Structure 1
Amino acid sequence: MTASTRTKRSTARPLVITLVVIIVVAALGFAYASPYIALNNLKRAADARDAQTVNQYVDFPALRDSLKQQIAGLLSRRLDLDSNSKLATIGAVIGVTLLGPLVDAYATPDGVAALLNGMPPHGDPGERPPEQSAANNPPAAAAAAEAPASPAAADAANHADTNAAPPQRQSTAGYRGLNEFVVTYRRGTGDAHYSAIFRREGLFTWKLAAIDLNE
């Protein structure tokens, strides 16, 4: 082996090590960022009602099971809290009988869009996800739906809406373990929250797999 050959090999070795380190660091960085990327891609696809892309980021069988359990629990707690109100009890019982249709309605791109825009199911009989315009702009849609009939009242309401601060819907997003990523949303104006739960499939793939309405 000549001196020049040894020199070339000794020069190439640090370059190879540096390249390997860069690749490893880049892979780890992408692995860490992958649930954030999945959340962004899923929200865009759901808002656009791109069913094909939504299917890539949602584990619908797992999401359906989670919705069924969570909504059933929501209705059960409502029965316990409103046990003295006959009308509330009747409404909750009706909600239980309509649990399947409600789950079917939310285990869709429309339902996913609602869940990722701060509008979870409330367990009301006949409830369905908001329309696309409502999901993309919940405060504006709610204001339009509740607008009073008289022009004067409408002007006053619009003025109040203009001065009011927009509600903050998304609260936190981050890892809850190596294979679970959670996005927590404010639910209403109080301290109640709900969470959309993503689970890892493989090294870089994440899918929406559950909803927690008990936060």
Structure 2
Amino acid sequence: MNRRYIIVGAAVVAVGFLALYAASPVLAFQGLRSAAEKGDRDKLEKLVDFPSVRDSLKSQLTVAFNKRMSADPEMQSNPFAGIALMMIPAMVNTAIDAYVTPDGMANIVKGQKPKAAADPASPPPPAEKPKTSYGYTDLDTFKVTIDSADTAPMDLVMRRQGFFTWQMKRIDLPADLLEGDPK
């Protein structure tokens, strides 16, 4: 009879471990959302890899601006287009560095538009809570889509940092925002 209890106990522990392993990214996102709502900058710093998020946004926006400039017929005939293309990365870097901060990240998670670090005015809360959907893309990558009335849907990409720990590594901007009509 003791053997049966050991087997049942081991099975319960294994199922609990697997359930916690599978639910850990949802719990991490809930922690991220809670930190955003409470304004807990220290927790946000731990849950978001800010250099990685900044780099991913900088590359996405630089590519999108370059495509738009190259596709714009007015820019193709403009003698200063080359100078503008060279200035795009510097402008994107400055903008991303100003907006991808703990406060800006808190606004994104709450479904609001991010604000620059120097902007003291806090945006009003959205009329309704943003819709979130999520799922694994592989065992170590989890994607949370935030869709609110104030912003276009964005994908927050989280990566596993151990068995149960997750950190946001990237924000994928919507394709229609990146590939939109330059007019």
CA distance, structure 1, for counterparts of residue 67 and residue 12 of structure 2: 52
- Give the structure with higher Rg (CA): 1
CA distance, structure 1, for counterparts of residue 169 and residue 55 of structure 2: 9
Question: Are the counterparts in 1 of residues 111 and 150 from structure 2 also a CA contact under 8 Å?
Answer: no
Query: TM-score, normalised to structure 2's length?
Result: 0.74
Q: Give the secondary-structure state (helix, strand or coil) at the position aligned to 1:204.
A: coil
CA shift in 2, pair 1:186/1:27, >3 Å: same
How far apart are 1:110 and its partner, in Å?
1.1
Equivalent residue number for residue 42 of structure 1: 32
Q: Which runs of 5+ in 2 are unaligned?
A: 176-183
Q: Which runs of 4+ in 1 moved over 6 A?
A: 89-94, 129-132, 187-190
Equivalent residue number for residue 123 of structure 2: 134
CA distance, structure 1, for counterparts of residue 98 and residue 110 of structure 2: 16
How far apart are 1:188 and its partner, in Å?
6.2
Query: TM-score, normalised to structure 1's length?
Result: 0.65
Equivalent residue number for residue 200 of structure 1: 160
Equivalent residue number for residue 23 of structure 1: 13
CA shift in 2, pair 1:31/1:189, >3 Å: same
- CA displacement 1:87-143 (0-9 Å, x = unmatched): xx899987643222222123311121122233466xxxxx727867426x134xxxx
Equivalent residue number for residue 90 of structure 2: 97
Equivalent residue number for residue 173 of structure 1: 134
1:105-184 pair list within 5 angstroms: 105-119=98-112, 128=116, 133-134=122-123, 137-139=125-127, 166=128, 169-184=130-145
How far apart are 1:44 and its partner, in Å?
1.5
Question: Are the counterparts in 2 of residues 198 and 206 from structure 1 also a CA contact under 8 Å?
Answer: yes
CA distance, structure 2, for counterparts of residue 131 and residue 193 of structure 1: 25
1:12 aligns with 2:5: no
Q: In the comparison of the two structures, how many residue pairs are matched?
A: 169
**How high is the sequence identity, in percent, across the aligned residues?**
31
How far apart are 1:202 and its partner, in Å?
1.0
Aligned-residue RMSD, C-alpha: 3.3
How far apart are 1:63 and its partner, in Å?
1.4
Q: Give the secondary-structure state (helix, strand or coil) at the position aligned to 2:138.
A: coil
Q: Which runs of 5+ in 1 are unaligned?
A: 1-10, 122-126, 140-165
Question: Are the counterparts in 2 of residues 115 and 196 from structure 1 also a CA contact under 8 Å?
Answer: no
